[in-house]
């Protein structure tokens, strides 16, 4: 059974519902970057939108857009990854609870704070009775959602799946994470992120929907060949996992044209990737994406998107190379791309994409 | 009474986030649920909170809302009789 | 706590629902289903230091996890088998966040709980409480059907050989956020919940945790473990009707039960007992009842909702009720549905009101439904 990524739509720091970032990416100018919003009226009526927070609107817009692109009306499954759900509504309910001493609380905010509201409101809009689920597992929420779809497509239980990653950053949550040294220093330019000497990653909101299916189409981006998730592996086990996934797909490390890594500029995060680079990917070009899409619980979805889009386009734009000298040398049409993601060196994932 | 009806319309638009609507768009005699404005059970809960917060009226059971929220006019009459603030 | 204690209480008809003790809500007129241990007592049980930062959701989860792993011969574990944990969690660390929120925003105290707030962090803490480690962790968050969906993902992972053993279930503790949330929807009963009763007036919020250890038959054989039962079928469907309400005809529930039956290759008449979702809200019980009537017609098997014992343990419910169903299957009894007195007019059945012992059960169906219409069903069968 082959599994294909048919279409992807996103709302992020970059131009929404567009691939313009391939040619001319928006360069962040602060560590708290806001998303660019599309015109939601094109997707949602005001009556429908009355209870929706920003995140649900984004999720619906990207879902409807990605289904339309591939001409699919009804997916067999809707699966989302969201680390924190609708933070806006959660904060509203929590603040009211504290300020009003548990009186006169807004029911809408409670309802919208449950993480599964995203997948279920997509289903409600599509009238989709198919499989519906939501993963909330920190920085591998999306990877988990993709894994679920991958398993069910492989088992033949479903033929199509809408898989999304949806997370938002609010000023209060940004402040709290700052206290945990997530954004220690003021951001000034990309070179600072590249050096990774400090702790400066860009925070982003993300909403990305993609459609997977068992049938190849003209619009297909690439094949989702295989994936694996593992916990606290240590470098040796990571290497084993990479070798395993290559071996069972009859590939060797030489066949991998590029590896997409979640390098963000935060030293603690990046060290794991540097070590992997030294041990496993010495001669493989490294691509990065968090400088464009920011760091968030759903950021890894952009890693898969960037890899898939390069395979579709048959080329890798220079700005994606983490080491500028690799960009100059790279000339070929990519055929196989590995996406490696980890969260706090606890949860790791490897995703293999092929043309 | 007229004033209370106008005030209520504004509050309903705000609390239910009825984007693009003005008080003039709401017919005070039209049903709020189903055919009329097309509100549902969660909107009813929001209206219950509105009555408690702004008029000091506390309902014990969501079912009581069914009669009270028949229209803006009926709601205004109920508030007029039962308000504590 | 524990399988034997649960069994004893179910036989005696002793409910765990009562007055609030640990939940510090001002709305004390509502009963709750609390786990009768404080955080410190749970820390002692788990040998976790008094001053260690950990959420109650994780404490409950780690306690249940330990019992599950020990009874499956995984304490310690043989590392040659891959072991994964899939946990259902919804509000996670909120019970601490709501206490320390002011500190999070305005002081430098309690910062460590910021990082423990989200669902994934709670699963991570549970994973860390197991000294022999997992090879993979993830968290499902589909509100009240989370644990049932964890069972489903775990089963698919086993079928695809992506793990050898998987621990599935869920955990959730009571918090003001969750409790006041349900109260804002006006679906809490001031009396202990009365599932399937004509005069039912809402649910009783509970807390808890439960995990099942699942593996393929040949793995169990090679490990020398005799399995308790077989997961013969499961279904996950979406009602797609309303953000909180269930449809009058229970379409999502109907489809998820039918999917589970089809996968198990069973007829409705093969089901010997239904452990219903049965929350005690007017809407759920009527909708679920209609869906059951569509599946079983006038041949309704014995039905009960054990939420009358535990309260609605939300994310854990699918695990708690799977565990109760498995106990019923292997020890041959049907738990009663407490607090029932009058039949719902539009339904053709009444729940079991007295515990039935010494019955031979082969297949048990258990339902877990959630807001947003996330409906899941599992069938557990005796190993033939």
Nearest CA in chain A to C255: A129
At residue A184, the pLDDT reads 61
Task: Give yes or no for residue C232 having a pLDDT over 90.
Answer: yes
Mutation to test the B interface, candidates A44, A46, A50, most B Cβ within 10 Å: A50
Query: For the residues of A132-166, what is the DSSP string, one character each?
Result: EEEE--GGGHHHHHHHHHHHHHHTTS-SEEEEEEE
Over residues C77-90, the pLDDT tens digits come to: 989 999 999 999 99
Contacts of C320 (CB under 8 A, 6+ apart): C147, C208, C209, C210, C306, C310, C313
Q: Look at A104 and B49 and tell me if their CB atoms are within 8 Å.
A: yes
Task: Give yes or no for residue A98 having a pLDDT over 80.
Answer: yes
Q: Look at A151 and C162 and tell me if their CB atoms are within 8 Å.
A: yes
At residue A180, the pLDDT reads 79
Say which of B38, B45, B46 has its CB closest to residue A47.
Answer: B38
Which residues from chain B sit within 8 angstroms of residue C242, using beta carbons? 40-41
Name the band, by pLDDT with cuts 50, 70 and 90, for residue A47: confident
List chains touching C (3+ CB pairs under 8 A).
A, B
Task: Give yes or no for residue B79 having a pLDDT over 90.
Answer: yes
Catalytic (active site) residue C242: no
Query: For chain C, which domains are there?
Result: 3-223 (3.40.47.10), 230-381 (3.40.47.10)
Which residues from chain B sit within 8 angstroms of residue C245, using beta carbons? 40-41
- Average pLDDT for C4-24: 95
Report the relative pairing of strands A347-354 and A222-231 from DSSP bridges. Answer: antiparallel
ipTM comes to 0.97
Selecting among C193, C312, C363, C378, the annotated active-site residue is: C312
Contacts of B54 (CB under 8 A, 6+ apart): B11, B85
Which residues from chain C sit within 8 angstroms of residue B41, using beta carbons? 242, 244-245
Which residues from chain C sit within 8 angstroms of residue B42, using beta carbons? 185, 243-244
At residue A265, the pLDDT reads 87
Mutation to test the B interface, candidates C186, C242, C243, most B Cβ within 10 Å: C186
Selecting among C178, C277, C290, C363, the annotated active-site residue is: C277
Over residues A156-199, the pLDDT tens digits come to: 999 999 999 999 989 898 888 888 777 666 666 777 777 766 66
Q: Look at B62 and C244 and tell me if their CB atoms are within 8 Å.
A: no
What number of residues does chain B have?
85
DSSP A349: E
Fold of A4-213: Peroxisomal Thiolase; Chain A, domain 1 (3.40.47)
Nearest CA in chain A to C235: A131
Contacts of A155 (CB under 8 A, 6+ apart): C156, C159, C160
| Pure H helices in chain A | 46-49, 54-69, 87-99, 107-113, 117-126, 141-154, 171-179, 190-195, 234-247, 267-279, 290-293, 300-313, 324-329
Catalytic (active site) residue C312: yes
At residue A185, the pLDDT reads 61
- For C266, phi then psi, to 5°, come to -115, 155
Which residues from chain C sit within 8 angstroms of residue A131, using beta carbons? 236-238
Domains A4-213 and A222-354 share a fold: yes
CA triplet A31, A33, A35: central angle to 5 degrees?
165
Query: For the residues of C111-153, what is the DSSP string, one character each?
Result: GGGTTT-SHHHHHHHHHHTSTT--SEEEEE--GGGHHHHHHHH
Q: Look at C372 and A137 and tell me if their CB atoms are within 8 Å.
A: no
Count other Cβ atoms within 10 Å, centred on residue B73.
Answer: 16
At residue A200, the pLDDT reads 61
Instruction: List A residues 208-237 in contact with B (Cβ-Cβ < 8 A).
Output: none
> Looking at the complex, does the CB of residue C330 fall below 8 Å from at least one CB of chain A?
no
> Looking at the complex, does the CB of residue C20 fall below 8 Å from at least one CB of chain B?
no
- What's the CATH number of domain A222-354, 3.10.129.10, 3.20.20.70, 3.40.710.10, 3.40.47.10? 3.40.47.10
CA of B74 vs chain C CAs: smallest distance (Å): 22
Query: For the residues of B35-84, what is the DSSP string, one character each?
Result: TSS-B-HHHHHHHHHHHHHHH----S-GGGHHHHTT-HHHHHHHHHHH--
Over residues A268-295, the pLDDT tens digits come to: 899 999 999 999 999 999 999 999 999 9
Nearest CA in chain C to A120: C372
At residue C107, the pLDDT reads 86
Over residues C74-131, the pLDDT tens digits come to: 999 989 999 999 999 999 999 999 998 988 988 888 888 998 999 999 999 999 999 9
- Average pLDDT for C131-160: 97
Which residues from chain B sit within 8 angstroms of residue C243, using beta carbons? 42
What number of residues does chain A have?
355
At residue A199, the pLDDT reads 62
How far apart are alpha carbons C59 and C333 in whole angstroms?
A: 30
Over residues C283-323, the pLDDT tens digits come to: 999 999 999 999 999 999 999 999 999 999 999 999 999 99
Q: Look at A50 and B16 and tell me if their CB atoms are within 8 Å.
A: yes
Over residues C372-381, the pLDDT tens digits come to: 999 999 999 9
Which residues from chain B sit within 8 angstroms of residue C247, using beta carbons? none
Which residues from chain C sit within 8 angstroms of residue B48, using beta carbons? 186
Say which of A84, A114, A132 has its CB closest to residue C118.
Answer: A84
Over residues A101-154, the pLDDT tens digits come to: 999 999 999 999 999 999 999 999 999 999 999 999 999 999 999 999 999 999
Summary mean pLDDT of chain A: 92
Which residues from chain A sit within 8 angstroms of residue B19, using beta carbons? 46, 49-50
Which residues from chain A sit within 8 angstroms of residue B46, using beta carbons? 106-108
CA of B47 vs chain A CAs: smallest distance (Å): 10
Q: Are A257 and A336 in contact (CB under 8 A)?
A: yes
Q: Look at A131 and C238 and tell me if their CB atoms are within 8 Å.
A: yes
> Looking at the complex, does the CB of residue C160 fall below 8 Å from at least one CB of chain B?
no
Q: Look at B18 and A47 and tell me if their CB atoms are within 8 Å.
A: yes
How far apart are alpha carbons A96 and A101 in whole angstroms?
A: 8
Q: Look at A136 and C89 and tell me if their CB atoms are within 8 Å.
A: yes
> Looking at the complex, does the CB of residue B45 fall below 8 Å from at least one CB of chain A?
yes
Name the band, by pLDDT with cuts 50, 70 and 90, for residue B61: confident
Nearest CA in chain B to C246: B41
> Looking at the complex, does the CB of residue B38 fall below 8 Å from at least one CB of chain A?
yes
Nearest CA in chain B to C182: B45
Place of tokens 């708290």: A32
- Average pLDDT for C339-362: 97
How far apart are alpha carbons A29 and A47 in whole angstroms?
A: 36
> Looking at the complex, does the CB of residue C131 fall below 8 Å from at least one CB of chain A?
no
Say which of A98, A120, A175 has its CB closest to residue C238.
Answer: A120
Query: Which token pair is A307?
Result: 């890899």
At residue B34, the pLDDT reads 77
Which residues from chain C sit within 8 angstroms of residue B49, using beta carbons? 184
Q: Are C304 and C333 in contact (CB under 8 A)?
A: no
CA of C332 vs chain A CAs: smallest distance (Å): 33
Say which of C26, C241, C373 has its CB closest to residue A102.
Answer: C26
Nearest CA in chain B to C185: B45
Q: Where does residue C2 rank: exposed (0-12), middle (13-18), buried (19+ CB within 10 A)?
A: exposed
Say which of A137, A154, A177 has its CB closest to residue C123.
Answer: A137
Furthest-apart CA atoms within chain C: distance in Å:
62
At residue A197, the pLDDT reads 62
Nearest CA in chain C to A139: C120
Summary mean pLDDT of chain B: 90
CA of B70 vs chain A CAs: smallest distance (Å): 19
Name the band, by pLDDT with cuts 50, 70 and 90, for residue C30: very high
Say which of A46, A105, A106 has its CB closest to residue B19.
Answer: A46
Catalytic (active site) residue C122: no
What residues does each domain of chain A span? Answer: 4-213, 222-354
At residue A19, the pLDDT reads 95
Selecting among C122, C144, C173, C193, the annotated active-site residue is: C144
Summary mean pLDDT of chain C: 96
To 10 degrees, the CA torsion angle through B61, B63, B68, B69? 120
Query: Which token pair is C86?
Result: 């899939």
DSSP A325: H
At residue A318, the pLDDT reads 94
Place of tokens 């945790």: C209
CA of B3 vs chain C CAs: smallest distance (Å): 29
């Amino acid at each position: 059974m082959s599994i294909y990524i048919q279409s992807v739509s996103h709302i992020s720091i970059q131009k929404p519902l567009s691939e313009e970032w391939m040619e001319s990416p928006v360069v962040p100018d602060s560590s708290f970057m806001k998303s660019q919003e599309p015109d939601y009226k094109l997707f949602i009526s005001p009556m429908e939108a009355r209870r929706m927070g920003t995140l649900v609107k984004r999720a619906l817009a990207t879902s409807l857009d990605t289904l339309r692109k591939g001409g699919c009306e009804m997916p067999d499954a809707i699966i989302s990854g969201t680390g924190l759900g609708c933070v806006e509504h959660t904060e509203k309910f929590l603040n009211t609870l504290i300020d009003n001493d548990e009186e006169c609380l807004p029911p809408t905010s409670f309802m919208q704070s449950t993480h599964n509201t995203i997948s279920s409101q997509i289903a409600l809009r599509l009238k989709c009775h198919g499989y519906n689920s939501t993963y909330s597992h920190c920085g591998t929420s999306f990877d988990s959602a993709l894994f679920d779809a991958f398993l069910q497509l492989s088992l033949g239980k479903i033929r199509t799946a809408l898989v999304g990653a949806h997370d938002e950053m609010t000023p209060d949550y940004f402040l709290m994470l700052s206290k945990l040294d997530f954004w220690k220093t003021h951001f000034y330019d990309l070179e600072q992120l590249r050096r990774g000497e400090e702790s400066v990653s860009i925070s982003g909101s993300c909403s990305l929907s993609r459609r997977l299916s068992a049938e190849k189409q003209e619009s297909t981006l690439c094949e989702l060949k295989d994936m694996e998730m593992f916990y606290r592996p240590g470098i040796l086990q990571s290497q084993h996992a990479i070798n395993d996934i290559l071996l069972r797909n009859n590939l060797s490390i030489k066949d991998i044209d590029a590896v997409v890594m979640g390098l963000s500029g935060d030293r603690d995060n990046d060290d794991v990737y540097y070590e992997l680079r030294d041990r496993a990917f010495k001669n493989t070009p490294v691509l990065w994406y968090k400088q464009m899409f920011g760091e968030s619980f759903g950021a890894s979805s952009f890693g898969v998107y960037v890899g898939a889009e390069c395979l579709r386009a048959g080329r890798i734009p220079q700005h994606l190379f983490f080491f500028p000298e690799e960009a100059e040398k790279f000339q070929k049409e990519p055929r196989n791309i590995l996406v490696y993601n980890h969260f706090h060196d606890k949860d790791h994932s490897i995703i293999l994409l092929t043309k | 009474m007229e004033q209370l009806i106008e005030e209520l319309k504004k509050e309903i638009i705000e609390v239910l986030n009825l984007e693009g609507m003005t008080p003039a768009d709401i017919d005070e005699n039209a049903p709020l649920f189903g055919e009329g404005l097309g509100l549902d059970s969660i909107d009813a809960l929001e209206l219950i909170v509105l009555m408690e917060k702004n008029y000091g009226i506390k309902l014990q059971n969501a079912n009581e809302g069914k009669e009270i929220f028949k229209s803006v006019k009926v709601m205004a009459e109920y508030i007029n009789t039962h308000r504590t603030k | 706590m524990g399988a034997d204690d649960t069994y004893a209480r179910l036989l005696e008809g002793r409910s765990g629902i009562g007055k609030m003790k640990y939940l510090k809500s001002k709305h004390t007129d509502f009963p709750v289903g609390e786990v009768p241990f404080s955080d410190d007592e749970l820390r002692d049980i788990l040998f976790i230091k008094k001053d260690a930062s950990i959420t109650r959701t994780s404490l409950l989860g780690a306690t249940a996890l330990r019992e599950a792993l020990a009874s499956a011969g995984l304490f310690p574990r043989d590392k040659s088998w891959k072991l994964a944990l899939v946990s259902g969690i919804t509000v996670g660390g909120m019970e601490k966040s709501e206490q320390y929120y002011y500190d999070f925003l305005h002081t430098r105290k309690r910062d460590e709980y910021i990082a423990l707030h989200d669902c994934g962090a709670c699963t991570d803490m549970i994973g860390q409480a197991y000294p022999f480690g997992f090879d993979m962790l993830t968290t499902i968050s589909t509100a009240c059907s989370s644990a049932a969906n964890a069972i489903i993902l775990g089963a698919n992972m086993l079928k695809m050989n992506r793990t050898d053993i998987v621990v599935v279930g869920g955990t959730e503790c009571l918090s003001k956020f969750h409790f006041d949330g349900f109260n804002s929807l006006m679906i809490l009963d001031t009396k202990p919940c009365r599932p399937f009763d004509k005069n039912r007036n809402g649910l009783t919020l509970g807390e808890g945790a439960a995990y099942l250890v699942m593996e393929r038959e040949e793995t169990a054989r090679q490990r020398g473990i005799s399995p308790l039962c077989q997961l013969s079928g499961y279904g996950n469907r979406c009602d797609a009707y309303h953000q909180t309400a269930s449809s009058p005809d229970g379409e999502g529930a109907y489809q998820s039960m039918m999917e589970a039956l089809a996968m198990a290759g069973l007829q409705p008449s093969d089901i010997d007992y239904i452990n219903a979702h049965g929350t005690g809200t007017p809407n759920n019980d009527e909708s679920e009842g209609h869906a059951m009537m569509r599946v079983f017609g006038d041949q309704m098997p014995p039905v009960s909702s054990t939420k009358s014992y535990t309260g609605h343990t939300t994310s854990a419910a699918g695990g708690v009720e799977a565990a109760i169903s498995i106990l019923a299957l292997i020890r041959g009894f049907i738990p009663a549905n407490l607090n029932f007195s009058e039949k719902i007019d539009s339904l053709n059945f009444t729940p079991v009101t007295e515990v039935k012992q010494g019955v031979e059960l082969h297949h048990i169906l258990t339902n877990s439904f959630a807001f947003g219409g996330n409906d899941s069903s599992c069938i557990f069968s005796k190993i033939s």
